Structure 1
């Protein structure tokens, strides 16, 4: 495992075979180069050397002599490392397919050591892919051949892969002791090649068993060997596993440092596989620290580079984590949207006209907004906007319209004239410029000195006025088209006198368009009848209505925004 020396020897071998015309020797020299680059963590270079050998020199008739001399088929050995390089470079499906082809090739050749070699690397690849049962199956066959042929070194590696397969299947009780014994047998051969890899499996097993000191020793030895021998193909994963160990010890900062080292190493080595796994570890840490947006962005950037392998455990886990983080982001966005909409609604108001309201957003946030303000000392504006659709875009457009009304920034418009206001809104907010978002509106102005209410509506259902002593509610309907749909529309205004003690109720369609199991269970007529029969006013009435709607819907979560405003005109409202 002295890969610093191997670099020079491999280069010398390539120079030597360059003077010859022997494909068998050329394949052996390229194999030395590819294997050396792989162990040093140069996966792209390893891929290139092995690909070159297979493409240009893999002629079994011409390489047969050297296969006999070395005891292995170069075409098979090159393919073993080419498959591993493909996995690192982000092509797990191609890697597994090539591995299966290599095993099939080895079986046709019928050479025991070539078969042993193919199975060893098949177990290695499946261990990387986290396919525990497949890794164990390859190891079991490898052990069988090694036992028959007396391959002591390869028998030890077979034990290690069998143990690794058991650990991947969650069998810590059998897997960890088997791994310890296999590592002892491996060390007894005097080999150090790939020791950082096997120590990473041991460190991970110890961490899962809660043996943190043993885990630290195993991972520290692995990192030390990786640096000493340039045996760096497992270096990024060693850093990640050390980070997971720090997490288990509740040292978040040390864990994050290790995850970042792992990601940096993986990027330098062009191992998308290690980068994905380390980024998942970092994303989970950030998720726990309420940094979900950063976690999702980081993971999505790596996951998005993959074009295959989406059924592999790592990619399945990454997708699931992305979906979880996405849902959390949506919840955060939803909460922020609700907070923003609520912050734009004026607080309940007392005085000659007392106003209260209830706003309960739907599960996916609709486009309702409520507003009221004194235009001057004598004129009170009240409105409700309902933008089509759901989501932040609808909610933000609705709030924007409300802010325009509150600020009186419709140029050339008398905000005391509802017909002018809605006509101007129709011109200012065409749906074609706002993602085909049209909206309904009810806008009224109460003139305190006269006691008259003037209103206009665009595509909106009636608001209702409940006068004291009156048997039936007074409907205040809309006569204009939905706003933003067609230009140059008129929104005729109507007026009525408001009796002292009357109540005005302005509400959205989420108050009465109630479905249960997809079927309508309430409508506008039933809603008006319900409200007309209630003698309570203010918050009590609206709370009763909300409870009734939830009962009808059969769920606390509503399908559309529930928005209602109640204005109570006091006995001395005109004074």
Structure 2
């Protein structure tokens, strides 16, 4: 494919270049090479800027949006995906010509995730549901599967396990009927995460391990990190701390190397939690993880990760008798949120603040 692009590059045909660059970018996303994918998205954006073509513009904005989102550049990602939705083509010609799926749906799905990370959980859920609805009208199985996969991640983040279950089942139906192997494996991974959240950690770990083995063999690494996060939590829940520590260390090293930095604040928070939950907890060793997670989450504008970390760090401070410091840390983070007060993370933070007061 790189050779094809070199030929198109020499020919000077911008549309030919886009037709190759789009799949190249998605290939590197699929194989977990996120910095390389961002490089191709940037090239695609430059070329699309030379054309007066709505489909090309939508393609460029969609590809930039997902790459920036995964790299942790949430503000720029939101600008890109909103531009893709605003300028999306209104004809039968779509980005399926380049990617095999509709780029507007990808943009809508990534917007939902970005909204959640930025601290707008209600809007995130609404956007996820709207994206599924939009995908349904296209009668395109791969596009609908993409909408479902990213929507499930939003439902899991807000703690709505019933909605997650419902849409995982829809994903299974689509993937089985249309032989979309990686999406079946992702669905099994999501099922494992739901099982862990519901207290059946042993079967959840088994499902996630099988799912990840299938995805590595494909190879399909686009969702390796969030599935690893769920597996780490399942391993800890079953007392397998040495495996959990080894996996989180490897996962942090991997995201730092490949540029998938949007998950790094959450990984650091979970690492701190593992330190506290291990058979021989070391409270002083956990705090630096929480502080680094808090700093990085704030730098990314990831209010959702910031809330989770502030809650855990406030809990640690309160356990040391530093209740005033705990309140001073958590109260302004909670006060920022104007929606999603019934979501799992905000309810947990509110309970802690009530106890501190």
TM-score of the pair, normalised by structure 1: 0.55
Structure 2 residue 205 is the aligned partner of structure 1 residue 181: no
Shift of residue 178, structure 1, vs aligned partner: 0.9
Distance in 2 (alpha carbons) for counterparts of 1:229 and 1:246: 25
Distance in 2 (alpha carbons) for counterparts of 1:65 and 1:125: 26
Structure 2 residue 72 is the aligned partner of structure 1 residue 41: yes
* 1:327-346 mapped onto 2 (5 Å cutoff): none
Further displaced range: 193-202 or 34-43: 193-202
* 1:534-545 mapped onto 2 (5 Å cutoff): none
Indicate the residue corresponding to 1:291 in structure 2. 322
Indicate the residue corresponding to 1:17 in structure 2. 48
| 1:136–1:164 contact (8 Å) kept in structure 2 | no
Structure 2 residue 77 is the aligned partner of structure 1 residue 51: no
| 1:80–1:121 contact (8 Å) kept in structure 2 | yes
Further displaced range: 263-272 or 162-171: 162-171
Shift of residue 265, structure 1, vs aligned partner: 1.2
Structure 2 residue 69 is the aligned partner of structure 1 residue 30: no
Distance in 1 (alpha carbons) for counterparts of 2:48 and 2:185: 34
Shift of residue 278, structure 1, vs aligned partner: 0.6
Deviations 1:422-466 (A, max 9, x none): xxxxxxxxxxxxxxxxxxxxxxxxxxxxxxxxxxxxxxxxxxxxx
Match of 2:313 among 251, 275, 282: 282
Give the CA RMSD over aligned residues: 1.3
Deviations 1:306-364 (A, max 9, x none): 111111111111111111111xxxxxxxxxxxxxxxxxxxxxxxxxxxxxxxxxxxxxx
Distance in 2 (alpha carbons) for counterparts of 1:34 and 1:69: 16
| 1:159–1:178 contact (8 Å) kept in structure 2 | yes
Distance in 2 (alpha carbons) for counterparts of 1:137 and 1:28: 30
Structure 2 residue 90 is the aligned partner of structure 1 residue 60: yes
Unaligned runs of 5+ in 2: 1-31
Indicate the residue corresponding to 1:523 in structure 2. none
Residue correspondences, number:
324
Shift of residue 293, structure 1, vs aligned partner: 1.0
Shift of residue 27, structure 1, vs aligned partner: 0.8
TM-score of the pair, normalised by structure 2: 0.88
Deviations 1:174-227 (A, max 9, x none): 212111111111111123333222211111111111110010111111101111
Indicate the residue corresponding to 2:241 in structure 1. 212
Indicate the residue corresponding to 1:228 in structure 2. 257
Match of 1:71 among 100, 103, 110: 100
Deviations 1:18-76 (A, max 9, x none): 11111111111111111111111111111110011112x12331x62432453212221
Match of 1:262 among 272, 275, 293: 293
Structure 2 residue 129 is the aligned partner of structure 1 residue 100: yes
Distance in 2 (alpha carbons) for counterparts of 1:218 and 1:80: 28
Distance in 1 (alpha carbons) for counterparts of 2:260 and 2:329: 28
* 1:290-309 mapped onto 2 (5 Å cutoff): 290-309=321-340
| 1:72–1:114 contact (8 Å) kept in structure 2 | yes
| 1:262–1:275 contact (8 Å) kept in structure 2 | yes
Distance in 2 (alpha carbons) for counterparts of 1:321 and 1:64: 52
Distance in 2 (alpha carbons) for counterparts of 1:320 and 1:101: 31
Distance in 1 (alpha carbons) for counterparts of 2:137 and 2:62: 21
Indicate the residue corresponding to 2:181 in structure 1. 152
Relative to its length, the structure with more helix (as a share) is: 2
Relative to its length, the structure with more strand (as a share) is: 1
| 2:196–2:234 contact (8 Å) kept in structure 1 | yes
| 1:197–1:222 contact (8 Å) kept in structure 2 | no
Structure 2 residue 247 is the aligned partner of structure 1 residue 200: no
| 1:83–1:96 contact (8 Å) kept in structure 2 | yes
